[in-house]
């Protein structure tokens, strides 16, 4: 190539570089500036960009296991009304005690843009995959009343102390036996709750911490010999299953002896136990309970059921909404009262104190509950 041609090519190349640099301003491309206003979510509502909070009218999901007991029915209504009153858009659903249905409901809450999902699990160990999907989408997960197990996708749990609840039930049984059945030894039987509920074995554990020493020293005699949780559990917290088991215990072990007391994990099962005892011609045994359901409050007041344990739903819902408001304001999860290992991580627990209720303290216990006070007639 001759010198003249090479010089022409070089000049052309230099001209091309000059054009490119002029078009780019002669400077490297920089990242676009951050927007001055926060981006909007799918509803068009501006979201805080940096503080981790969310819109004051955000969607909040609540997945409840069922409405088969008074406490869950109360939670359903209270979450709907109180979340709405706080300015949120509530999606509150119950799963009829079916795990697949609850999984689908949580999936729907994710798709509907929930910023927080509150979960009272049907089975605390069966929701890991859908909860992890929610967490990956930036959704906060709060366990309600029951622990969410074997998953890292949980930010905290609000519940009444489950072991403490069991301790109260066990002590109430001992106190009732002493007050109503004279001197021991006492013939008793033990009932547990639904094994899929992580609270149920804790209730039983707490009660047995109180009762086992008295079983060991002969004060209490479990006539059937059924003292393990797996023997005493009531599938699905089903009252009819509890009554069928009580019928079998009475016909099999108490044809010629009196039953003095029964550990019951909740009020519905307590009423089933009492009904079975009456139908078998037994004197009503001392029976514990849980949830302060209206019918059992009446039975405690009339003396048919010895005790219940109150876990006020309004307090539990109120604490949960307090945490949601903290998240909305960008303040994060408040400091928990304790932690519990769920099989994967240590989970912060906001633990509320339960209260044992007997006829003697019922008016004091329900002084701020007009509905239940009206039952004490």
- The domain spanning residue 183 has which CATH number? 3.40.50.2300
Helix (H) or strand (E) holding 61: strand 59-64
Minimal CA–CA distance to 286: which of 133, 147, 160, 176?
176
Give the number of domains in the chain: 2
Model confidence, pTM: 0.83
On whether both 97 and 150 belong to a single domain, the answer is yes
Same-domain status, 143 and 166: no
**Does residue 265 sit in the same domain as residue 319?**
no
pLDDT of residue 377: 87
Please report the pLDDT score of residue 154 as a whole number.
Answer: 98
Classify residue 245: in a domain, yes or no.
yes
**What's the CA gap between 273 and 289, in Å, rounded?**
11
**Same domain membership, residue 327 and residue 317:** yes
Note the pLDDT of residue 346.
98
3-state secondary structure of 162: helix
Q: Is residue 178 part of a domain?
A: yes
User: Is residue 52 one of the residues assigned to a domain?
Assistant: no
The domain in which residue 278 lies consists of 162-311+359-366
Tokens read off for 75: 């939670």
Do 118 and 213 lie in one domain? The reply is no
254 shares a domain with 184: yes
Helix (H, G, I), strand (E, B) or coil at 86: coil
* Beta-ladder partners of 347: 340
Weakly modelled stretches of the chain, pLDDT under 70 = 1-51
- Digit-coded pLDDT (tens) for 330-374: 999 999 999 999 999 999 999 999 999 999 999 999 999 999 999
Q: Find residue 142's DSSP bridge partners.
A: 118, 156
Q: Assess if residue 20 is contained within a domain.
A: no
Residue 286 shares a structural domain with residue 336: no
> Would residue 336 count as lying in a domain?
yes
In this structure, the answer to whether residues 195 and 167 fall within a common structural domain is: yes
Q: What is the pLDDT of residue 51?
A: 52
Q: Specify if 196 maps to a domain.
A: yes
38 occurs within a structural domain:
no
- Give the pairing type, strands 156-160 and 140-144: parallel
Q: What is the pLDDT of residue 211?
A: 98
Backbone angles phi and psi of 214, in degrees to 5:
-75, -25
Q: Please check whether residue 5 lies inside any domain of the structure.
A: no
323 and 299 both lie in a single domain: no
What are the b/e assignments for 280-307, b being 16+ CB within 10 Å? eebebbbbbbbbbbeebbebbbeebbbb
Q: Which of 234, 265, 246, 57 is nearest to 163 (CA)?
A: 265
Residues 274, 346, single domain; the answer is no
Q: Are residues 302 and 169 in the same domain?
A: yes
Q: Which pair of tokens denotes residue 151? A: 């998953």
Q: Are residues 177 and 301 in the same domain?
A: yes
Q: 69-81 burial, b for 16+ CB within 10 Å, e for fewer? A: bbbbbbbbebbee
């Amino acid at each position: 190539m001759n010198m003249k041609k090479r010089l022409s090519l070089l000049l052309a190349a230099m001209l091309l570089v000059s054009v490119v640099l002029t078009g780019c301003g002669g400077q490297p491309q920089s990242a676009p500036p951050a927007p001055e206003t926060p981006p909007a979510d799918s509803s068009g509502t501006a979201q805080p960009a940096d503080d981790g909070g969310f819109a004051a009218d955000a969607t909040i999901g609540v997945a409840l296991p069922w409405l088969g007991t008074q406490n869950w029915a109360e939670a359903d209504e209270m979450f709907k009304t109180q979340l709405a009153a706080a300015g949120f858009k509530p999606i509150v659903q119950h799963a009829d005690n079916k795990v697949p249905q609850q999984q689908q409901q949580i999936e729907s809450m994710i798709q509907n843009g929930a910023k927080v999902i509150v979960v009272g699990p049907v089975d605390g160990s069966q929701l890991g995959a859908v909860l992890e999907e929610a967490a990956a989408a930036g959704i906060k997960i709060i366990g309600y009343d029951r622990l969410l197990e074997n998953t890292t996708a949980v930010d905290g749990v609000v519940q009444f102390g489950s072991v403490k609840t069991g301790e109260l039930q066990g002590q109430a049984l001992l106190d009732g036996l002493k007050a109503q059945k004279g001197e021991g030894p006492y013939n008793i039987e033990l009932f547990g709750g639904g094994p899929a509920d992580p609270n149920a074995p804790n209730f039983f554990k707490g009660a047995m911490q109180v009762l086992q020493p008295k079983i060991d020293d002969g004060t209490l005699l479990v006539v059937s010999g059924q003292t393990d949780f797996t023997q005493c559990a009531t599938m699905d917290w089903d009252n009819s299953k509890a009554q069928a088991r009580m019928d079998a215990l009475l016909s099999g072990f108490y044809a010629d002896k009196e039953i003095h007391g029964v550990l019951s994990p909740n009020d519905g099962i307590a009423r089933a136990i009492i009904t079975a005892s009456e139908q078998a011609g037994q004197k009503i045994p001392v029976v514990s309970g849980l949830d302060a359901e209206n019918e059992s409050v009446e039975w405690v007041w009339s003396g048919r059921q010895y005790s219940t344990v109150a876990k006020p739903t309004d307090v539990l819902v109120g604490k949960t909404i307090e945490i949601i408001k903290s998240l909305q304001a960008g303040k994060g999860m408040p400091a928990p009262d304790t932690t519990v290992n769920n099989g994967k991580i240590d989970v912060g627990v906001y633990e509320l104190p339960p209260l044992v209720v007997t006829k003697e303290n019922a008016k004091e216990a329900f002084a701020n509950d007009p509905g239940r006070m009206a039952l004490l007639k």
